[in-house]
Chain A
Amino acid sequence: SQQGEEDPQALSIQEGENATMNCSYKTSINNLQWYRQNSGRGLVHLILIRSNEREKHSGRLRVTLDTSKKSSSLLITASRAADTASYFCATAPDTGGFKTIFGAGTRLFVKA
């Protein structure tokens, strides 16, 4: 089963609005990462948040992490048509080993 599960599966918003995507996971983690994938392309790393961090910012991106609820959220502010993509969370369990697990993703469509 997937370690990380994104919610919603799909999201459609107007340009200029904010987009929020959520990720839940099952086991304790070392870190959580968010990636973007444009149609037909490889994934691009957006931001990494470690288990001892609660919030992180990068430009228009804001990521929060709640380890007690085993959940994370990605907020994209003032969205643009170019933000249209799929967004994936990925978790690195702290149980040892080197297996980062990806969720099924949220498809974001930003209408111009």
Chain B
Amino acid sequence: NAGVTQTPKFQVLKTGQSMTLQCAQDMNHEYMSWYRQDPGMGLRLIHYSVGAGITDQGEVPNGYNVSRSTTEDFPLRLLSAAPSQTSVYFCASSYSALQGGYGYTFGSGTRLTVV
């Protein structure tokens, strides 16, 4: 099993550009989420999904969109990149939507720089 796969690993964007960060899992996990990690701040939840067709906002959703058309994929779209979105982005999944009661499996991250 590949687990959680994130692409790309690195990306540089210019202010105002848009892009999509890809996340795919092959474990038939119900729950998927996106976090951003900034130095000294831990991980902050951007958006999450408890199943195909169902998404909701986390702590810091502004500037990001998500959709979940299949169980496997949960892409994160940056609508108009800003320097404040420079961060490392992690996708995570869990077997159950019940509060991560089985723990999360994380991808290896996408390091995004907005100039």
Interface residues of A (CB under 8 A from B): 2, 4, 30-31, 33, 35, 40-45, 48, 50, 88, 90, 92-94, 98-105
A88→B42 contact, CB < 8 A: yes
Contacts A98-B31, A102-B42 given; does A30 touch B101 at CB 8 Å: yes
- For B44, the closest partner residue in chain A by CB is A102
A43→B90 contact, CB < 8 A: yes
A45 to B107 Cα, complex, angstroms: 12
Contacts A104-B41, A104-B42 given; does A31 touch B104 at CB 8 Å: no
A105 to B106 Cα, complex, angstroms: 16
Q: Which of A35, A100, A105 contacts B45 (CB 8 A)?
A: A100
Interface residues of B (CB under 8 A from A): 4, 31, 33, 35, 40-45, 48, 50, 56, 58-59, 90, 92, 97-109
A99→B48 contact, CB < 8 A: yes
B97 cross-chain contacts in A, Cβ below 8 A: 98
B31 cross-chain contacts in A, Cβ below 8 A: 98
B109→A42 contact, CB < 8 A: yes
A100 to B35 Cα, complex, angstroms: 10
A42→B108 contact, CB < 8 A: yes
A45 to B92 Cα, complex, angstroms: 11
Contacts A30-B101, A45-B104, A48-B101 given; does A103 touch B42 at CB 8 Å: yes
B42→A98 contact, CB < 8 A: no
A14 to B42 Cα, complex, angstroms: 26
A100 cross-chain contacts in B, Cβ below 8 A: 33, 45, 99-100, 104
A104 to B42 Cα, complex, angstroms: 4
B35→A102 contact, CB < 8 A: yes
A42 to B34 Cα, complex, angstroms: 12
A43 to B4 Cα, complex, angstroms: 12
A57 to B56 Cα, complex, angstroms: 34
B56 vs chain A, min Cβ distance (A): 7
A80 vs chain B, min Cβ distance (A): 22
B98 cross-chain contacts in A, Cβ below 8 A: 30, 98
Contacts A42-B107, A99-B58, A100-B104 given; does A2 touch B42 at CB 8 Å: yes
